């Protein structure tokens, strides 16, 4: 799928997707360390990673929506919508996790909420894999620009 929203020939949406994935993964690692007896600040760090991941995740979904609006082929549009729905599902789960953490002291998480967090992280990983499978067989934008071979 060709991205219409790009900077210097690189698509913005795939770059933005990596930030929430990293932030959510770090939140899970902080929560695991907190539950294993780490310092109490780890729960607060995990909470703020989730919040930052939510904000950047919304930007990634908006960038993906711009790409979907300009897709010409119905199959690509359908896959783009599916990708967006999967990403929104992950963000909704992490938003619920963030809301539940607000009511706990020092923003810590229990074992059950950690399992939901890990499930959402697995879902996000599947979504990233799915997006990567859509791009298989295509050269990066900088390689297409160097050869003058552009596909729209």
pLDDT digits (tens, 9 = 90+) for 10-32: 677 777 888 988 999 999 999 99
Contacts of 96 (CB under 8 A, 6+ apart): none
**Band (144; pLDDT cuts 50, 70, 90):** low
Global pTM value: 0.77
Q: Where are the domains of the chain?
A: 10-135
- Hey, what are 108's tokens? 């810590």
C-alpha 125, offset from chain centre: 8
Percentage of residues in the chain with pLDDT exceeding 70?
79
pLDDT for 7 beyond 60: yes
pLDDT digits (tens, 9 = 90+) for 31-52: 999 889 888 888 889 999 999 9
User: What pLDDT is attached to residue 139?
Assistant: 46
- Tracing tokens 């953490």 back to the chain, one arrives at 101
Q: Which runs of consecutive H residues, i.e. helices, occur in 36-109?
A: 41-69, 74-102
User: What pLDDT is attached to residue 112?
Assistant: 84
What's the CA gap between 90 and 54, in Å, rounded?
9
């Amino acid at each position: 799928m060709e991205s219409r929203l790009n900077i210097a020939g690189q698509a913005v949406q795939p770059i933005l997707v990596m930030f929430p994935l990293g932030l959510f993964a770090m939140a899970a690692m902080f929560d695991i360390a907190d539950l294993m007896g780490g310092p109490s600040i780890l729960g607060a760090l995990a909470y703020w990673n989730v919040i930052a991941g939510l904000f950047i995740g919304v930007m990634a979904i908006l960038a993906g929506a711009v790409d979907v609006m300009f897709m010409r082929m119905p199959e690509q549009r359908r896959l783009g919508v599916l990708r967006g729905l999967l990403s929104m599902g992950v963000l909704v789960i992490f938003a619920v996790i963030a809301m539940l953490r607000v009511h706990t002291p020092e923003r810590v998480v229990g074992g059950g909420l950690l399992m939901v967090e890990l499930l959402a992280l697995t879902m996000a990983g599947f979504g990233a894999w799915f997006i990567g499978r859509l791009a298989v067989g295509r050269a990066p934008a900088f390689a297409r620009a160097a050869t003058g071979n552009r596909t729209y």
